Amino acid sequence: MSSDYSFGFWSCFSDLGICCKVAWCPCFAVGSAVAEANNTGKFDSGCCFFTCCCNGLTCIPAYSIRKKVQENYNIKEDDVTTLAAAVCCTTCSITQDMREMKKRRVDQHVVLNKHGNWC
């Protein structure tokens, strides 16, 4: 069953912590988001370094993060929309994806706690 994003694309200011991290420290935001999207739990210093060195090309990891979030949570979005989001408003794109991962992580924790499978 497919789903949509839990938060609107233009609602990036609803979580100022994530929004500020993405806007002012995109290299660290991208490194954190890639680690979470890939379920590694390890900060991705390669993506962080790429984002710092190629600041104008942050849309490349943003697109990759967006596709991985869509794959992980079965979110349906056509490729043109995904590309447009990553290229035209990279900050909103990464913020939306980070908020989605945060929400899904919290939801998973609540469900697992409810069934007694996770401390």
Q: Other C-beta atoms within 10 Å of 17: how many?
A: 10
Q: Is residue 3 part of a domain?
A: no
Token pair for 95: 């913020």
Q: Is residue 43 part of a domain?
A: yes
Q: How many domains does the chain have?
A: 1
Q: Is residue 6 part of a domain?
A: no
pLDDT in tens, 39-52: 877 776 676 666 66
- pLDDT of the residue at 36: 86
Query: What is the rounded CA–CA span in Å between residue 73 and residue 54?
Result: 29
- pTM summary value: 0.81
Q: Is residue 2 part of a domain?
A: no
pLDDT in tens, 16-27: 999 999 988 888
Token pair for 40: 């590694």
77, amino acid identity: E
Q: Is residue 8 part of a domain?
A: no
Q: Is residue 26 part of a domain?
A: yes
Boundaries of domain holding 85: 14-114
Q: Is residue 108 part of a domain?
A: yes
Q: Is residue 4 part of a domain?
A: no
DSSP the chain: --B--SS-TT-GGGSHHHHHHHHH-HHHHHHHHHHHHTT--S--HHHHHHHHHTGGGTHHHHHHHHHHHHHHHTB---HHHHHHHHHH-HHHHHHHHHHHHHHHHHHHHHHHHHTT---
Using an 8 Å Cβ cutoff, are 34 and 65 in contact?
Answer: yes
